[in-house]
A and B are shown apart, each in its own frame.
Chain A
Amino acid sequence: MKKILEERKDIVFYIKMFPLQSHPEAYEKSKSILCEKSLALLEDAFEKKPIPKPKCETTAVDESTRLAQRLGINSVPTLILPDGRMVPGYKDARTLIQLIGN
Chain B
Amino acid sequence: MLRRLVVDCLLLFCLLPTTYSYGFETRGQDCSKCHTLNKEEAQDLLKNMIPEVAILDVRPSPVKGFWEVYLESRGQKGIIYVDFQKRHFFSGALVSLGERKNLTQERLVELNRVDASQITLDDALVMGDQKARIRVIVFTDPD
Check A93 for interface membership: any CB of B closer than 8 A.
no
Interface SS of chain A: mixed
CA distance A81 to B126 in the complex (A): 15
Interface size class of B (residues with CB under 8 A): 20 to 34
Check A52 for interface membership: any CB of B closer than 8 A.
no
CA distance A80 to B140 in the complex (A): 11
> Which of chain B's residues has its CB closest to A41's CB?
B142
Instruction: Report chain A residues within 8 Å CB of B140.
Output: 15-18, 42, 76-77
Instruction: Report chain A residues within 8 Å CB of B99.
Output: none
Contact B129 A12 (CB under 8 A): yes
The smallest beta-carbon distance between B71 and chain A, in angstroms, is: 12
CA distance A85 to B109 in the complex (A): 6
**A29-51, CB < 8 A from B:** 29-30, 33-34, 37-39, 42, 45-46, 51
Instruction: Report chain B residues within 8 Å CB of A15.
Output: 124-127, 138, 140
Contact A77 B134 (CB under 8 A): no
Instruction: Report chain B residues within 8 Å CB of A84.
Output: 113-116
Instruction: Report chain B residues within 8 Å CB of A74.
Output: 75-76
Contact B138 A79 (CB under 8 A): yes
- Return the contact of A17 from the options B110, B119, B121, B142 (Cβ within 8 A): B142
Contact A82 B135 (CB under 8 A): yes
Instruction: Report chain B residues within 8 Å CB of A72.
Output: 75-77, 112
Assess A12 versus B128: contact at CB under 8 Å? Given A17-B141, A73-B139: yes
Check B26 for interface membership: any CB of A closer than 8 A.
no
The listed residue with most A CB atoms (<10 A of its CB), out of B116, B131, B141, is: B141
| Given A20-B141, A20-B143, A39-B127, 4 new contacts (CB under 8 A) | A11-B136, A13-B126, A23-B141, A85-B113
Q: List 10 A-B contacts (CB under 8 A).
A: A10-B132, A12-B131, A12-B136, A15-B140, A26-B143, A64-B123, A71-B114, A74-B76, A77-B138, A83-B116
